[in-house]
Structures are given as C-alpha cells and as structure tokens.
Amino acid sequence: MIMQTCTCYSRSRRIGKVIVKDLIDAGVEVFALAKIQTNLDKLKSEIPSVNIIAVDLADWDATWNAVGKLGDFDILVNNAAFMDAKIADYAFIEIPKELLENSIDVILKSAFNRVVAHSMIQRSSGGALINLSRLTGVRSYKGLSSYCVSKAGMYMMKVMALQFGPHNIRVNTVSPTSVRSEFLEKVMNSPDLKKVCEESNLCKAILWV
C-alpha cells in the first residue's frame, strides 16, 4: 500500500521541494498544496509525480473543501509559513497589523485546520501529523517578532497529541535551527548562521517521525 501525504508546500520553495522529493523517493504519494499556482507549476515540472493543488492555506473553508475532495491520507506534513522580506525592518511596536495577521493565519491557522485529522478519525485508520516549527519558537531574534510568536505557537501542538493519541494518530513537531533557504541567503546576516541545517537533515527527521 502506498502511503499518501498531504504536504503543505510553503512559500519557502526550496525547503518544500526537497521535502516533497524525499517523500516521493521514500515511496509516498504526495499532494502538494500552496497558494501560488506558478510555484506549484514549477514544482510539477521538476517533480512530475507530485500532485499539485492551489489553495490559500490561511483560508480554513477553502482548504477543507480542497483537501476533502482528494480522498484519504495517512500523513500530513505541515510546512506552511509566511515570511515577508521586510519583516526584519520593523521593531516590535511597529509591526503592521496585516503582517502579524498573515503570519498567524498561515503558520498557526493552517496547523489548526482539522480536515486531515477528521478523516483519519472517521476511518479509524490512525496516521501521522507532522508540523514544522523553528528554533525561533523558543529563541528570540531581533526583528522577527511576528514570525517568532507564530512559530512558538506550534509547540502547543502537544494539545493535538493528547486529543488525537487515543485515535492512534501521532502528532510531532520538528523544530530545526535555521534551515538553508532562499530567504535565509538573501535576508539574514548573522554569525549564528555560519552553520545551518541543510534541507536533507530536515527531511531525515520528517521521515523518521
């Protein structure tokens, strides 16, 4: 039996692409979700076996409808993220309301969308929900207030583990340090980033849980 995974393919395109590729190489049928169709089309051109669905993950109803039509899943990998290139320009008291709302909507609300877990419970099939957080959830970085707060909320997914455990659904949060990505290379400039987590290391952790 081929396991299926609904992968929330994020704005961090390179990380998402590597996750998709490694899952497919492991024998998993992957459905990749993202808001921007052109990003998905590029992913499809590079990894033809991936299934792509364009949907705004911050929109609960749209995500529920889109995923609900796809059938049953055994795994959810939630890599949804929002990182504006200007985020480091704002002090805490200057963060625009829209920036904070976008960060929370995409990172936290997508994690709380219960469509995949609901299907697992209905089928009594069990499964695995894997959320990606960051070290920024427990370690503060100047200029990344909204991102840090949103990622910190991912650690509260322990609540999901307590509630879904009796249904044989595993819930884990993978929390790497900074992961090499397009955004990181263009925007960040810190001694802390001399040694970063490579995408391949992150994928090994995801496959393990």
- Residue 147 annotated in active site: yes
Contacts 24+ apart (CB under 8 A), 55-64: 57/8, 57/33, 57/106, 57/109, 57/110, 57/113, 58/102, 58/105, 58/106, 58/109, 58/110, 60/109, 60/113, 63/33, 63/110, 63/113, 63/115, 64/113, 64/115
Element (H, E) at 131: strand 127-132
Query: Nearest 5°: phi and psi at 13?
Result: -60, -40
Query: Of 9, 90, 141, 147, which residue is the catalytic one?
Result: 147
3-state secondary structure at position 53: strand
What does the block give as tokens for 146? 């909204």
> Closest by alpha carbon to 34, among 15, 61, 52, 59?
52
Active site (catalytic) residues: 147
